Structure 1
C-alpha cells in the first residue's frame, strides 16, 4: 500500500522524468474531474494527496537507500493539484469548461509553472528540498504548487486586466 501511494499507483515508475509523468497524471485526472462537474474535488484531492504523501513517504523512504527516490511522485501530484486549484475554482465559478479553447491556460499554465518551480527550486522550495527528509520531499512540491498557483493567478490577471482589452 505504501509503494502504491508513494508512486501514485505506479506512475512514478514511468521513465524518463517520473516527476513530469506524475504531474501529467495529476492534470489529466483534475481536468477529467472538472469536466465531470467535480471541480471542487481538485482542492479536496490536493489535501488528500498531501495527507497520503505525509503518511506514505516516510514509510517508503525507510525502505530506500535514497533520501528522495525519483519514483516517489505523490509529492508532485499533491503540488500539482494545489497549483490547479488556484485556476480551477475561478473557472468553475464562471461556468467555464476546462477543455474549451479559451480555458486551456487554466490547466496548462499551472502545469508549466509547477514543473518550472519544481525543477529550478528557487528560494524556500530549494530550502525544503535540501532538508533531505520525508517532510522535505513533500514540502518542496507543496511550495512549488503554491507559487505556481499564485503565479497562474497573477498571469491571468495581467492577461484579463491589461492584455485582453488591448488586443480587443
Structure 2
C-alpha cells in the first residue's frame, strides 16, 4: 500500500484509534481548524476544506484500490474535511468580526455534534453519497454532512444572537 496515501487517509494514524475512528477523526480536525484560523482566517479555512477533500479523495482511491471494502473505518480524512466544513460559519463569523474563533465555543460544540449526527445517521443525500461505493462517495457523504452541520450551526447562531439576543 502507498505509505503516503495511508498516512493521509488515516490522518497520521488517527484512523487506527478505537473505538469510533470517525469520531477521533472529527476530533482531530478541531485543533487543526484552530491553527488554520489563527494563521489565515476564513480564506485559509476555505482552502483547507478544498485541500482536505482532494487529498482524502486521492488517499481513499489509493487505499481501496483492488479492495472489496470501499470505505474502511481507518480512513478518516473524510471526517476531517466534513468537520472543517461544519466549522465554516464560525470561521467566517470570527474573521468578519475580528474575534478569536475559539471564543465561540458553543458553536464548536454544535458543529461537532451536528456533524457527527449527520455523518452517523446519513439522511437523504448523505446516504445517497455513501451508497456510491467508491472513493468519491466516501468523501462526498462527509462533505454533505458537513454542509448540513454548517447550516445547522448558522441557524443556531441566528437563533442565539438575533432571536434570543444572547
Give the match for residue 89 of structure 2: 86
Alignment gaps of 5+ in structure 2: none
Structure-2 separation of matches of 1:163 and 1:105: 15
TM-score, normalization by structure 1: 0.90
What's the CA shift string for 1:7-32, capped at 9, x where partnerless? 11111111111100110010121123
Deviation at 1:63, TM superposition (A): 5.0
Structure-2 separation of matches of 1:70 and 1:25: 15
Greater Cα offset, 48-57 or 156-165:
156-165
Give the match for residue 46 of structure 1: 49
What's the CA shift string for 1:70-93, capped at 9, x where partnerless? 000011111111111122111221
Alignment gaps of 5+ in structure 1: none
Structure-2 separation of matches of 1:12 and 1:31: 20
Give the match for residue 73 of structure 1: 76
- Structure 1 runs, 4 residues or longer, greater than 6 Å off: none
Give the match for residue 146 of structure 1: 147
CA contact (8 A) 1:98 1:106 kept: no
Q: Considering only aligned residues, what root-mean-square deviation do their CA atoms show, in Å? A: 1.4
TM-score, normalization by structure 2: 0.91
Structure-2 separation of matches of 1:106 and 1:39: 16
How many residues of Structure 1 are paired with residues of Structure 2 in the alignment?
Answer: 162
